[in-house]
Structure 1
Protein backbone atom coordinates (compact mmCIF):
# COMPACT_ATOMS: atom_id res chain seq x y z
CA UNK A 1 0.00 0.00 0.00
CA UNK A 2 2.82 2.37 0.77
CA UNK A 3 4.07 1.83 -2.78
CA UNK A 4 0.71 2.62 -4.40
CA UNK A 5 -0.56 5.28 -1.98
CA UNK A 6 2.30 6.75 0.08
CA UNK A 7 0.38 9.77 1.38
CA UNK A 8 -2.73 7.76 2.24
CA UNK A 9 -0.52 5.29 4.09
CA UNK A 10 0.97 8.07 6.20
CA UNK A 11 -2.54 9.38 6.90
CA UNK A 12 -3.78 5.89 7.87
CA UNK A 13 -0.82 5.40 10.22
CA UNK A 14 -1.48 8.80 11.79
CA UNK A 15 -5.15 7.95 12.31
CA UNK A 16 -4.17 4.59 13.79
CA UNK A 17 -1.81 6.31 16.25
CA UNK A 18 -4.47 8.85 17.27
CA UNK A 19 -7.17 6.19 17.71
CA UNK A 20 -4.87 4.00 19.79
CA UNK A 21 -3.76 7.00 21.89
CA UNK A 22 -7.42 7.87 22.51
CA UNK A 23 -8.10 4.23 23.43
CA UNK A 24 -5.26 4.35 25.95
CA UNK A 25 -6.55 7.60 27.47
CA UNK A 26 -10.21 6.54 27.61
CA UNK A 27 -10.07 2.86 28.52
CA UNK A 28 -6.69 2.14 30.08
CA UNK A 29 -5.98 5.26 32.18
CA UNK A 30 -2.20 4.78 32.50
CA UNK A 31 -0.62 6.08 35.69
CA UNK A 32 2.76 6.68 34.06
CA UNK A 33 3.32 10.46 33.87
CA UNK A 34 -0.15 11.06 35.36
CA UNK A 35 1.19 14.03 37.34
CA UNK A 36 1.63 16.02 34.11
CA UNK A 37 -1.18 16.10 31.51
CA UNK A 38 1.11 16.92 28.56
CA UNK A 39 3.50 14.09 29.47
CA UNK A 40 0.53 11.74 29.88
CA UNK A 41 -0.74 12.60 26.38
CA UNK A 42 2.78 12.27 24.95
CA UNK A 43 3.08 8.84 26.57
CA UNK A 44 -0.25 7.81 25.04
CA UNK A 45 0.86 9.05 21.61
CA UNK A 46 4.15 7.16 21.93
CA UNK A 47 2.29 3.98 22.84
CA UNK A 48 -0.13 4.63 19.98
CA UNK A 49 2.87 4.65 17.65
CA UNK A 50 4.14 1.40 19.18
CA UNK A 51 0.67 -0.06 18.58
CA UNK A 52 1.36 0.23 14.84
CA UNK A 53 3.52 -2.85 15.36
CA UNK A 54 2.49 -4.66 18.55
CA UNK A 55 0.28 -4.40 21.61
CA UNK A 56 1.92 -3.84 24.98
CA UNK A 57 0.20 -3.24 28.27
CA UNK A 58 0.17 0.28 29.62
CA UNK A 59 -1.52 -0.87 32.84
CA UNK A 60 -1.84 -4.23 34.57
CA UNK A 61 -5.30 -5.60 33.88
CA UNK A 62 -7.15 -8.45 32.24
CA UNK A 63 -5.96 -8.69 28.68
CA UNK A 64 -8.24 -11.13 26.84
CA UNK A 65 -10.64 -8.55 25.43
CA UNK A 66 -7.94 -5.94 24.86
CA UNK A 67 -5.89 -8.41 22.81
CA UNK A 68 -9.00 -9.53 20.94
CA UNK A 69 -9.94 -5.94 20.02
CA UNK A 70 -6.40 -4.94 19.06
CA UNK A 71 -5.61 -8.00 16.96
CA UNK A 72 -9.03 -7.99 15.27
CA UNK A 73 -8.50 -4.34 14.35
CA UNK A 74 -5.05 -5.11 12.93
CA UNK A 75 -6.38 -8.13 11.02
CA UNK A 76 -9.09 -5.96 9.44
CA UNK A 77 -6.46 -3.37 8.52
CA UNK A 78 -4.27 -6.04 6.90
CA UNK A 79 -7.19 -7.48 4.94
CA UNK A 80 -8.27 -3.99 3.84
CA UNK A 81 -4.76 -3.08 2.70
CA UNK A 82 -4.38 -6.35 0.83
CA UNK A 83 -7.76 -5.91 -0.88
CA UNK A 84 -7.00 -2.31 -1.85
CA UNK A 85 -3.60 -3.32 -3.18
CA UNK A 86 -5.23 -6.08 -5.24
CA UNK A 87 -7.91 -3.74 -6.63
CA UNK A 88 -5.69 -0.75 -7.42
CA UNK A 89 -2.54 -2.53 -8.62
CA UNK A 90 -1.50 -1.81 -12.19
CA UNK A 91 -1.27 -4.60 -14.74
CA UNK A 92 2.52 -4.32 -14.70
CA UNK A 93 2.52 -4.89 -10.94
CA UNK A 94 0.03 -7.77 -11.13
CA UNK A 95 2.20 -9.55 -13.71
CA UNK A 96 5.31 -9.48 -11.49
CA UNK A 97 6.43 -12.66 -9.80
CA UNK A 98 6.16 -11.16 -6.29
CA UNK A 99 2.60 -9.78 -6.51
CA UNK A 100 0.65 -12.83 -5.33
CA UNK A 101 3.20 -13.96 -2.69
CA UNK A 102 3.23 -10.48 -1.15
CA UNK A 103 -0.55 -10.36 -1.24
CA UNK A 104 -0.77 -13.67 0.60
CA UNK A 105 2.01 -12.70 3.03
CA UNK A 106 -0.06 -9.75 4.28
CA UNK A 107 -2.68 -12.02 5.84
CA UNK A 108 -1.63 -15.68 6.12
CA UNK A 109 1.34 -15.28 8.54
CA UNK A 110 -0.75 -12.92 10.65
CA UNK A 111 -3.56 -15.48 10.96
CA UNK A 112 -1.04 -18.25 11.74
CA UNK A 113 0.46 -16.04 14.46
CA UNK A 114 -2.99 -15.43 15.95
CA UNK A 115 -3.72 -19.15 15.98
CA UNK A 116 -0.40 -19.88 17.72
CA UNK A 117 -1.11 -17.14 20.28
CA UNK A 118 -4.58 -18.55 21.02
CA UNK A 119 -3.16 -22.08 21.42
CA UNK A 120 -0.47 -20.73 23.76
CA UNK A 121 -2.95 -18.86 25.95
CA UNK A 122 -5.38 -21.79 26.04
CA UNK A 123 -2.90 -24.54 26.86
CA UNK A 124 0.49 -23.22 27.97
CA UNK A 125 0.07 -19.84 29.68
CA UNK A 126 0.34 -19.88 33.50
CA UNK A 127 -2.81 -18.94 35.38
CA UNK A 128 -2.70 -16.85 38.55
CA UNK A 129 -5.38 -16.85 41.24
CA UNK A 130 -5.63 -15.27 44.65
CA UNK A 131 -5.97 -17.42 47.75
CA UNK A 132 -6.20 -15.09 50.73
CA UNK A 133 -3.10 -12.94 50.65
CA UNK A 134 -1.18 -15.44 48.50
CA UNK A 135 -1.09 -15.48 44.74
CA UNK A 136 -0.93 -18.97 43.33
CA UNK A 137 0.45 -19.43 39.83
CA UNK A 138 -0.42 -22.73 38.24
CA UNK A 139 0.83 -24.15 34.99
CA UNK A 140 0.49 -27.43 33.19
CA UNK A 141 3.69 -29.32 32.34
CA UNK A 142 2.85 -32.44 30.38
CA UNK A 143 0.12 -34.26 32.32
CA UNK A 144 1.01 -32.67 35.66
CA UNK A 145 -0.46 -29.53 37.16
CA UNK A 146 2.13 -27.57 39.16
CA UNK A 147 1.54 -24.66 41.52
CA UNK A 148 3.88 -21.99 42.81
CA UNK A 149 3.00 -19.79 45.79
Structure 2
Protein backbone atom coordinates (compact mmCIF):
# COMPACT_ATOMS: atom_id res chain seq x y z
CA UNK A 1 0.00 0.00 0.00
CA UNK A 2 1.33 3.42 -0.99
CA UNK A 3 1.97 5.92 1.78
CA UNK A 4 3.13 9.43 0.96
CA UNK A 5 5.71 10.50 3.53
CA UNK A 6 4.94 14.21 3.14
CA UNK A 7 1.16 13.88 3.52
CA UNK A 8 1.01 16.08 6.62
CA UNK A 9 3.01 18.79 4.88
CA UNK A 10 0.69 18.54 1.88
CA UNK A 11 -2.33 18.87 4.17
CA UNK A 12 -0.74 21.89 5.83
CA UNK A 13 -0.08 23.51 2.45
CA UNK A 14 -3.67 22.89 1.39
CA UNK A 15 -4.78 24.55 4.64
CA UNK A 16 -2.49 27.54 3.99
CA UNK A 17 -3.86 27.88 0.48
CA UNK A 18 -7.44 27.82 1.74
CA UNK A 19 -6.59 30.45 4.35
CA UNK A 20 -4.97 32.63 1.67
CA UNK A 21 -8.10 32.26 -0.50
CA UNK A 22 -10.27 33.39 2.41
CA UNK A 23 -8.05 36.42 2.97
CA UNK A 24 -8.27 37.22 -0.74
CA UNK A 25 -12.06 37.01 -0.54
CA UNK A 26 -12.06 39.44 2.38
CA UNK A 27 -9.78 41.83 0.49
CA UNK A 28 -12.06 41.62 -2.56
CA UNK A 29 -15.07 42.42 -0.37
CA UNK A 30 -13.31 45.50 0.99
CA UNK A 31 -12.30 46.52 -2.54
CA UNK A 32 -15.88 46.22 -3.82
CA UNK A 33 -17.18 48.24 -0.88
CA UNK A 34 -14.65 50.99 -1.52
CA UNK A 35 -15.49 50.99 -5.23
CA UNK A 36 -19.14 51.50 -4.32
CA UNK A 37 -18.15 54.35 -2.01
CA UNK A 38 -16.22 56.07 -4.80
CA UNK A 39 -19.11 55.56 -7.21
CA UNK A 40 -21.54 56.96 -4.63
CA UNK A 41 -19.37 60.02 -4.07
CA UNK A 42 -19.11 60.61 -7.84
CA UNK A 43 -22.89 60.40 -8.07
CA UNK A 44 -23.28 62.82 -5.14
CA UNK A 45 -20.82 65.22 -6.78
CA UNK A 46 -22.71 65.08 -10.08
CA UNK A 47 -26.04 65.58 -8.28
CA UNK A 48 -24.57 68.51 -6.35
CA UNK A 49 -23.34 70.19 -9.52
CA UNK A 50 -26.65 69.62 -11.31
CA UNK A 51 -28.61 71.05 -8.37
CA UNK A 52 -26.33 74.10 -8.26
CA UNK A 53 -26.80 74.78 -11.94
CA UNK A 54 -30.58 74.33 -11.71
CA UNK A 55 -31.05 76.79 -8.86
CA UNK A 56 -32.15 80.22 -10.13
CA UNK A 57 -31.91 82.71 -7.30
CA UNK A 58 -28.69 82.12 -5.38
CA UNK A 59 -27.66 84.13 -2.37
CA UNK A 60 -24.12 84.60 -1.12
CA UNK A 61 -24.88 82.22 1.74
CA UNK A 62 -26.15 79.57 -0.73
CA UNK A 63 -23.00 79.90 -2.82
CA UNK A 64 -20.83 79.62 0.29
CA UNK A 65 -22.73 76.52 1.47
CA UNK A 66 -22.62 74.93 -1.98
CA UNK A 67 -18.90 75.61 -2.29
CA UNK A 68 -18.16 74.21 1.20
CA UNK A 69 -20.22 71.10 0.46
CA UNK A 70 -18.45 70.68 -2.90
CA UNK A 71 -15.03 70.96 -1.24
CA UNK A 72 -16.04 68.41 1.36
CA UNK A 73 -17.21 66.05 -1.39
CA UNK A 74 -13.88 66.52 -3.18
CA UNK A 75 -11.97 65.74 0.03
CA UNK A 76 -14.11 62.67 0.65
CA UNK A 77 -13.56 61.61 -2.96
CA UNK A 78 -9.78 61.98 -2.65
CA UNK A 79 -9.79 59.95 0.57
CA UNK A 80 -12.02 57.29 -0.99
CA UNK A 81 -9.79 57.06 -4.08
CA UNK A 82 -6.71 56.56 -1.88
CA UNK A 83 -8.54 53.89 0.12
CA UNK A 84 -9.65 52.21 -3.12
CA UNK A 85 -6.08 52.19 -4.42
CA UNK A 86 -4.87 50.64 -1.14
CA UNK A 87 -7.60 48.01 -1.36
CA UNK A 88 -6.57 47.21 -4.93
CA UNK A 89 -2.94 46.81 -3.81
CA UNK A 90 -4.05 44.53 -0.98
CA UNK A 91 -6.07 42.41 -3.43
CA UNK A 92 -3.00 42.18 -5.65
CA UNK A 93 -0.82 41.08 -2.72
CA UNK A 94 -3.38 38.51 -1.61
CA UNK A 95 -3.62 37.12 -5.15
CA UNK A 96 0.15 36.71 -5.24
CA UNK A 97 0.04 34.83 -1.92
CA UNK A 98 -2.72 32.53 -3.20
CA UNK A 99 -0.73 31.87 -6.36
CA UNK A 100 2.43 31.07 -4.37
CA UNK A 101 0.57 28.76 -1.97
CA UNK A 102 -1.16 27.05 -4.87
CA UNK A 103 2.18 26.46 -6.58
CA UNK A 104 3.65 24.97 -3.39
CA UNK A 105 0.66 22.64 -3.03
CA UNK A 106 0.77 21.59 -6.68
CA UNK A 107 4.47 20.75 -6.42
CA UNK A 108 3.80 18.41 -3.51
CA UNK A 109 0.80 16.86 -5.27
CA UNK A 110 2.94 16.29 -8.35
CA UNK A 111 5.61 14.63 -6.18
CA UNK A 112 2.92 12.49 -4.56
CA UNK A 113 1.58 11.42 -7.95
CA UNK A 114 5.08 10.52 -9.19
CA UNK A 115 5.82 8.53 -6.06
CA UNK A 116 2.46 6.74 -6.30
CA UNK A 117 3.12 5.85 -9.95
CA UNK A 118 6.61 4.59 -9.10
CA UNK A 119 5.19 2.57 -6.20
CA UNK A 120 2.52 1.04 -8.44
CA UNK A 121 5.13 0.19 -11.07
CA UNK A 122 7.44 -1.38 -8.48
CA UNK A 123 4.53 -3.27 -6.95
CA UNK A 124 3.59 -4.59 -10.39
CA UNK A 125 7.16 -5.70 -11.04
CA UNK A 126 7.29 -7.38 -7.62
CA UNK A 127 4.06 -9.27 -8.33
CA UNK A 128 5.30 -10.25 -11.77
CA UNK A 129 8.55 -11.52 -10.25
CA UNK A 130 6.61 -13.57 -7.67
CA UNK A 131 4.38 -15.03 -10.38
CA UNK A 132 7.41 -15.90 -12.48
CA UNK A 133 9.11 -17.56 -9.51
CA UNK A 134 5.96 -19.56 -8.71
CA UNK A 135 5.68 -20.67 -12.32
CA UNK A 136 9.31 -21.81 -12.32
CA UNK A 137 8.88 -23.66 -9.03
CA UNK A 138 5.70 -25.36 -10.26
CA UNK A 139 7.35 -26.30 -13.53
CA UNK A 140 10.46 -27.61 -11.80
CA UNK A 141 8.49 -29.64 -9.25
CA UNK A 142 6.26 -31.14 -11.95
CA UNK A 143 9.15 -31.78 -14.28
CA UNK A 144 11.15 -33.59 -11.61
CA UNK A 145 8.18 -35.87 -10.84
CA UNK A 146 7.88 -36.77 -14.53
CA UNK A 147 4.69 -34.81 -15.04
CA UNK A 148 4.04 -32.42 -17.85
CA UNK A 149 3.37 -29.15 -16.02
CA UNK A 150 1.27 -27.92 -18.91
CA UNK A 151 -1.24 -30.75 -18.66
CA UNK A 152 -0.95 -31.76 -15.02
CA UNK A 153 -0.33 -35.42 -15.96
CA UNK A 154 2.61 -37.69 -16.34
CA UNK A 155 4.62 -37.72 -19.55
CA UNK A 156 3.28 -38.84 -22.95
CA UNK A 157 1.72 -42.27 -22.99
Give the TM-score category using the shorter length.
0.3 to 0.5
Greater strand content: 1
> Higher relative contact order by CA 8 Å / sep ≥ 6: 1 or 2?
2
Scaled by the length of structure 2, the TM-score of the pair is 0.33
**Structure with higher helix content:** 2
Which entry has the higher C-alpha Rg, 1 or 2?
2
